[in-house]
Chains A and B, each alone.
Chain A
Amino acid sequence: MTGRARAARRGRLPVVLAVPALIGLAFLIVPLAGLLVRAPWTSLGEQLFSEAVGQALLLSVVCASLATLVCLVLGVPLAWLLARANLPGRGVLRALVTVPLVLPPVVGGVALLLVLGRRGIIGEHLDAWFGISLPFTTAGVVIAEAFVAMPFLVISVEGALRGADPRFEEAAATLGASRWYTFRRVTLPSIAPGLVAGTVLCWARALGEFGATITFAGNFPGKTTTMPLAVYLALETDPGAAIVLSIVLLLLSVVVLVSLRDRWISTPS
């Protein structure tokens, strides 16, 4: 057998897998194609470079990135806790972490208002003591996005941590490494693919976040109007513009995700 024939043989998928795989792919891709077909291509450029779109796009990227940062800072330690710490009721804890996944985002937004809003359990004191009011602010957008997106990060990272061999951490300990040093220099690098995948998922989820954001942070151009909110409102009056905005959002995420994948996820192991 030649090398190519061998490669082809190895690459051939059984029909039982190939057919549903292709249907699945089509299921995901066709709605996007629908958007592209209906897009008002003639006014595309004009829409693209309008100030409102630029503003919403910038705000989306900044907020999604900040939210991802928040998720990394809080979510990675949380994932570590779930994966490694010997906690009682860990299963319950793990289920609780996934609550934002199951909760309708709008409900999540209301829940955030009840806690961090001006009359909320914590927000009340923030307002009274520090004069901080989170709803209707860009910080509010970041919080809403982080709330909804964090489970994606935590679940990915926890999975990676549970898959990682803890004996490497033991080896590091026998070499004199503290737990924190071990975490930074051994654990994190060993779960890099899972971490990157989780970060990407988290960022993508934050970028597309609508329900919790509009409920918790409201909608005001330049301050809290991210792309999904702009898309939703454009849909009320100008479906063409909504499609264009969606395509912009789509392109942005595809570019970022593909470049990240090439850089991090498909490195030969």
Chain B
Amino acid sequence: MSRFVPVLAVVAALAVAGCSSSDPGASDGESTGTSGPAAPEVTGDLTVFAAASLTETFTELGENFEAANPEVSVTFNFAGSSALAKQINEGAPADVFASAAPRNMTETTDTGAVTADPVTFVTNTLEIAVPAGNPAGVTGLADFGKEDLKIGLCAEQVPCGAASKKVFEAAGVTPAPDTLEQDVKAVLTKVSLGEVDAALVYRTDVKAAGDKVEGIEFPESADAVNDYPIAPCAQAPNPQAAQAFIDYVLSQEGQAVLTEAGFGTP
């Protein structure tokens, strides 16, 4: 189901982009007092392209940011990081790009769509996800090698799959997966429906999935800490707001929201 949210988001983002370009005078409004102590005065529309795994946290951060800067209207486009990178490279009117993997950020810096140095704003580690009650009695990474268990992993082509591969190599376990899913949400669907006995996903995903999924931490997860980089886009329609938003994400207040959701601090 997660595949459909981005479609709507892109449509919304394009609509917003159309507004901002046809309304260049919007940022010329008179100043209406300061709202954030460190932030410079920001106004207008802000479009943030963020990895799907940031949906809940960034939505909250966006609301907080709008509350602190009443002249700003934030729009998000949540999708897979690689899809976002492609959209940005094709000229999508993004102000900020928050990726779930350095590799996708590199795709945009390679083409010059992002020129500023990306900053790692959170980290995420893998956790074993099992259906509520852990019916198969999974205890650790070694269980992933058992043929008689139904195992779900992310495909190697997507970030959580690449990270999974790293931890299995570090742990010396050869996994016997039954399915290699196209994204974390698809894996979680199968865990929550009980179709797989165990899966490897990010800590934040386990937290977001609620009661139907339980997380089991494992020591080897330290071998594949995933960095989330954020950067303003080179062609950002609203560079001032972009920088203000990034500053807010990196601020103590912003970080608190992120760690609450299970992210690690860099």
Contacts and interface: CB of A to CB of B under 8 A. Distances in A.
B166 to A, nearest CB: 16
A106 interface: yes
A136 interface: yes
A232 B3 CA distance: 12
A110 interface: yes
Classify chain A: how many residues form its interface, as a range: 20 to 34
A181 interface: no
Interface in A92-120: 104, 106-107, 110, 113-114, 117-119
B181 A214 contact: yes
A151 interface: no
Interface in A232-254: 232-237, 239
A113 B181 CA distance: 15
Given A233-B157, A236-B82, A236-B155, A211 B177 contact: no
A53 to B, nearest CB: 15
Residues of A contacting B: mostly: helix
Interface stretch (A81-89, A196-204, A215-223, A259-267): A215-223
B164 to A, nearest CB: 14
A23 B183 CA distance: 37
A16 B13 CA distance: 36
B133 to A, nearest CB: 12
Nearest to B180: A219
SS class, residues of chain B in contact with chain A: loop
A131 to B, nearest CB: 12
Contacts of A232: 182
Interface in B1-28: 1, 3-4
Interface in B168-202: 177-182, 186, 189-190, 193-195
A135 B155 contact: no
B150 interface: yes
B180 A220 contact: yes
Contacts, number: 74
B92 interface: no
Contacts of A65: none
A224 interface: yes
A116 to B, nearest CB: 10
Nearest to B185: A106
A132 B177 CA distance: 18
Contact of A104 (B1, B80, B186): B1
B193 A117 contact: yes
Contacts of A113: 189-190, 193, 195
A218 B178 contact: yes
Given A104-B4, A236-B82, A219 B158 contact: no
A218 B180 CA distance: 7
Contact of B179 (A107, A118, A219): A219
A96 to B, nearest CB: 22
A233 B3 CA distance: 14
Contact of A118 (B1, B180, B195): B195
16 contacts: A106-B3, A110-B1, A110-B189, A113-B189, A117-B193, A118-B195, A119-B195, A136-B179, A136-B195, A217-B179, A219-B180, A219-B181, A220-B177, A220-B180, A232-B182, A236-B80
Given A113-B195, A135-B190, A218-B152, 4 more contacts: A110-B1, A113-B193, A220-B179, A236-B155
